[in-house]
Amino acid sequence: MSYLSLVSEFEQVFTKPEWTKNGIQAYPSNFSPTDERPMEYIVLEVLPNSPLMNQFGGERQVAGLFIAQIYIPAEKGSRRVFEISDFLDDVLHTQMLQYTIQTASSSLAVKGNDSQNPALFRADYSVSFNSY
Amino acid sequence: MANISAIGAGIYTSLAFIDLPVVEGTGTSGQDVGVGDTPAQWAANFEIRPVPTPDAEGAFVPWNAVDDARAFGRVREFPNIGIPANVINVPQYGQATSSQITGQSDPPSMDFTFNYVPTQHFFIDTLRAEGTRRIFRVRLANGEQVVATGGGENESGGTDPVGTSGVNLPYEKENDSGGSEMREFSDFYFFGSVASFEIVPALTDSNQLNVSLTIDGQLEGPFSYTPQAVVTNPPTYEKPTI
């Protein structure tokens, strides 16, 4: 398991029909698209910040947090945030991803109007994971 | 000297056994393992070192795993390796403090925990059900060793038979004076059998397997290879000396 493979494994989730059928654009963090962003999208963050040492042999194992920042138009209510979170649950809640990642139960933190762009409303969907 | 000579965490410690019957006296190579064999003969059941062709400094010296060597793999916790004390207090009439003597030690049950993968650990329950006696090797290693591939060429350039995947082999490289250097490890051997096999499903971490091994006799070790001045000469397998 490499750090790059971790990110790739999460990103691949958002290229599959189970996600793309929802029509919600997913961007990696620290990325500025050339086209204007839609008024509803998510930004993906992978935080592999907790090393696991639960096996002899030196195999790299890590635990961490995956966060999807959910953006929807402001002043339209928060219901859509919960709906998108359910879409995310369908592909990320307690899942074995393609190779090494196992995700746990998810949670949602509603942040309110985005400080960078007040026209957007933000919530953070997060799920912890282990990569064995 | 390739026995461990400095403090360190045993991150690369491994457990392996030979899937051959154990006999009293001396064994026959490839057929059984003798309790009376030398440690070098025990080691030769796990790994062999073909006579290498001298190469450049830094080149691997190839080691091959041997047919019946088997690795347990994915060890999560090791037990105390050794024989526990059995201290008996002896009352002394007329003295304020009793004395102590060392009694006959009870053989320990060695409880190992594994990150359970059924396709990898199924053989352990077979060993338990058969109750067969085997020779086990704990290789205490702080640094990374060569790992047998189980059917193909390993990192050292040696060739491993099918079924030996995960067996730790010495990490030996040629030096600039025509000899070789080896990453340190210390081997401990014991004869015993698998006494228990218990699976523990987990919610937030990997599933686990608890296995107890019983020891029959003494624990022997620490042994390791001492490379010779000339790389084509086989290393000696011995305990540390003063």
> Where residue A1 falls among pLDDT bands split at 50, 70, 90?
confident
What is the pLDDT at residue B106?
76
Query: What sign results for the dihedral spanned by CA atoms A85, A91, A97, A102?
Result: positive
Residue A37 has pLDDT above 90, yes or no: no
Give A68's strand partners. A44, A125
A92's enclosing H/E stretch is helix A79-92
Higher pLDDT, B109 or B25: B25
Residue B109 has pLDDT above 80, yes or no: no
**Chain A residues near residue B14 by CB distance under 8 angstroms:** 56-57
Q: Quick one: tokens of B12?
A: 């690369």
> Where residue B83 falls among pLDDT bands split at 50, 70, 90?
confident
**Chain A residues near residue B10 by CB distance under 8 angstroms:** 56
d(CA A93, CA A19): 13
In this predicted model, what pLDDT tens digit does every residue of A51-95 receive, in sequence order?
Answer: 888 999 988 899 999 999 999 999 999 999 999 999 999 999 999
Q: What is the separation of C-alpha B151 from the centre of its chain, rounded to a whole number of angstroms?
A: 21
Please state, rounded to an integer, the average pLDDT across all residues of chain B.
93
Burial A70-88 (b: 16+ CB within 10 A, else e): bbbebeeeeeebeebbebb
- The answer to which of A60-64, B72-76, B91-95, B139-143 has the lowest mean pLDDT is B91-95
ipTM: 0.87
What is the pLDDT at residue B82?
82
Residue B105 has pLDDT above 80, yes or no: no
Burial class of residue B115 in the structure, from the number of CB atoms within 10 Å of its CB (0-12 exposed, 13-18 middle, 19+ buried) = buried
Q: In the 3-class helix/strand/coil scheme, how is B175-194 assigned residue by residue?
A: CCCCCEEECCCEEEEEEEEE
**Chain A window 53-72: which residues touch B at a Cβ cutoff of 8 Å?**
54-58
Q: Quick one: tokens of A116?
A: 């960078």
In percent, how much of chain B has pLDDT > 70? 100
Amino acid at B61: V
**Chain B window 14-33: which residues touch A at a Cβ cutoff of 8 Å?**
14
Query: Using the beta-carbon criterion (under 8 Å), do A55 and B10 form an inter-chain contact?
Result: no
**Chain A residues near residue B205 by CB distance under 8 angstroms:** 54, 130
Peptide bond between residue B107 and the one before it cis (omega within 30 degrees of 0): no
Query: Using the beta-carbon criterion (under 8 Å), do A56 and B204 form an inter-chain contact?
Result: no
Residue B61 has pLDDT above 90, yes or no: yes
Is B197 touching A (CB cutoff 8 A)? no
B54: closest CA of chain A, how far (Å): 30
Q: Quick one: tokens of B82?
A: 């050794």
Query: Using the beta-carbon criterion (under 8 Å), do A54 and B78 form an inter-chain contact?
Result: no
B217 touches B165 (CB < 8 A): no
What is the pLDDT at residue A21?
96
B88 touches B68 (CB < 8 A): no
What is the pLDDT at residue A59?
87
Is B115 touching A (CB cutoff 8 A)? yes
Question: Which positions ≥6 away from B196 have C-beta within 8 Å?
Answer: B128, B210, B211, B212
Residue A123 has pLDDT above 80, yes or no: yes
Q: Please report the number of interchain residue pairs, chain A to chain B, with beta-carbon separation below 8 angstroms.
A: 31
> Where residue B81 falls among pLDDT bands split at 50, 70, 90?
confident
B26 touches B36 (CB < 8 A): yes
d(CA B200, CA B193): 21
DSSP state of B161: -
Give B215's strand partners. B192
Query: Using the beta-carbon criterion (under 8 Å), do B74 and A104 form an inter-chain contact?
Result: no
Query: Using the beta-carbon criterion (under 8 Å), do A56 and B115 form an inter-chain contact?
Result: no
Higher pLDDT, B73 or A37: B73
Amino acid at B51: V
**Chain B window 138-177: which residues touch A at a Cβ cutoff of 8 Å?**
144, 147
Comparing alpha-carbon positions, the chain A residue that sits nearest to B202 is A104
Alpha helical stretches, state H, chain B: 39-44, 118-130
B148: closest CA of chain A, how far (Å): 13
